[in-house]
Amino acid sequence: MRQLSWRMVASAVVGLTVALEAVPWLLGWLQVGRQRRPRRDVLFFPSQVTCTEALLQAPGEAPAGPTGDCPCNLPHSESSLSHLLRALLAARVSLELCLFAFSNPQLGRAVRLLHQRGVRVRIITDCDYMALNGSQIGLLRKAGIQVWHDQDLGYMHHKFAIVDKKVLITGSLNWTTQAIQNNRENVLIMEDSEYVRLFLEEFERIWEEFNPAKYSFFPQKKQIC
């Protein structure tokens, strides 16, 4: 009888061990634990003014200085602007931009660089702001990038970007040098499928609505019949 109870205890221990061995597998199945943590950053502005040349060189461009670094006097450290540029330049397939104001030259260069690399860039903007001096919209259009705009009384006041349909970049920041260097601003960078889906739906809704075929200030010619 004594031998029997030892065997029962041993069997119970074996059963317990087998079940506990299954726990990591179960957690893996529930996608908990070891997977790469999705990106969740916040950038606050004003940004320190730093040199961003190294990030923005087009393929085949000669290095700016003799050592390959830009020889300018600005600090060559990271800043909120450089983090924002890096998040955008990570795009490989697509970039949706929905921006009230876009006049910062570095961000303009980054977007043109992505277009040159074959990333599909689509831009929605506000018709009032895009006509102002210093807007990047003309240069972006000249480069062959599609830009559609509102013709509403209200403003197209969003300030978001979607990178490769995986990362949402959104916040209070208009893409102007004034805002980047002087204002208190925030930008969230979120690798989050739920938020990306909702903002992408909003983008597609507006994209469809702002289709230039619907612009009323280019009135269709009346058919002669």
- Interaction site with a second copy (CB under 8 A): 4, 7-16, 18-20, 23, 26-27, 30, 32, 40, 42, 44, 46, 98, 100, 150, 152-160, 170-173, 178-179, 181-186, 188, 194-195, 198-199, 202, 206
* C-alpha to C-alpha distance for 23 and 18, rounded to whole angstroms: 9
Q: Nearest approach, Cβ of 223 to a second copy (angstroms)? A: 34
- Is 166 known to be catalytic? no
Task: Give 56 or 81: the residue with its C-beta nearer to a second copy.
Answer: 81
Task: Extract the tokens encoding 121.
Answer: 């860039």
Sheet containing 120-125, strands listed edge to edge, beginning at the edge strand earlier in sequence: 146-149, 120-125, 94-99, 159-163, 167-171
Task: Give 64 or 215: the residue with its C-beta nearer to a second copy.
Answer: 215
- Is 128 known to be catalytic? no
Task: Give 11 or 116: the residue with its C-beta nearer to a second copy.
Answer: 11
Q: Under a CB-based contact definition with an 8 Å cutoff, are residues 39 and 196 in contact? A: no
Q: Which of 41, 164, 165, 192 is catalytic?
A: 164
Helix, coil or strand: residue 1: coil
Q: Under a CB-based contact definition with an 8 Å cutoff, are residues 186 and 173 in contact? A: yes
Residues annotated as part of the active site: 157, 159, 164
